[in-house]
Amino acid sequence: MLNSHIHLDFDNVNSPSSSTTGVIIPSTGKDNWDSVIACCHSNDNSYFALGIHPWFVKDHQMIDLHDLEVRIEEEKPIAVGECGLDYAKVKDQNTQRFFFDEQVALATRFDLPLIIHSVHATEDVTDLLKSYSKSRGVIHAYSGSLQQAENLLKINFSFGFGTSLTNPHAYKLHDIVKFLPIESIVIETDDRKNPDELIQVAERVARIKKITVDQVIEQCDQNTFNIFKIS
Ligand SMILES: [Zn+2]
Write out the binding residues for a divalent metal cation.
Answer: 5, 7, 82, 117, 140, 190
Q: How far apart are CA 58 and CA 74, in angstroms?
A: 25
Q: What are 129-179's pLDDT values in tens digits?
A: 999 999 999 999 999 999 999 999 999 999 999 999 999 999 999 999 999
What whole-number distance in Å separates Cα of residue 5 and Cα of residue 190? 5
Cα(212)–Cα(206) distance, rounded to whole angstroms? Answer: 6
Q: Which residues have CB less than 5 Å away from ligand 1 (the ion)? A: 190
Give the pLDDT confidence score for residue 115 in this predicted structure. 98
How much is the mean pLDDT over the chain?
A: 97
Q: What is the CATH number of the domain that holds 150?
A: 3.20.20.140
Question: Mean pLDDT across the stretch 101-128?
Answer: 98
Centre of ligand 1 from the C-alpha of residue 94, in Å: 21
Amino acid, res. 167: N
- Please determine, for residue 231, whether its predicted confidence score (pLDDT) is greater than 90: no
For residue 114, report the distance from its CA to the centre of ligand 1, in Å. 12
48-101 tens-digit pLDDT: 999 999 999 999 999 999 999 999 999 999 999 999 999 999 999 999 999 999
Tally of structural domains, the chain: 1
Helix/strand number for the chain, H first, E second = 8, 8
Alpha helices by DSSP H, 93-138: 93-109, 122-130
Q: Ligand 1 centroid vs 20 CA: distance in angstroms?
A: 18
Distance 181 CA to ligand 1 centre (A): 23
Segments forming the whole domain that contains residue 167: 2-228
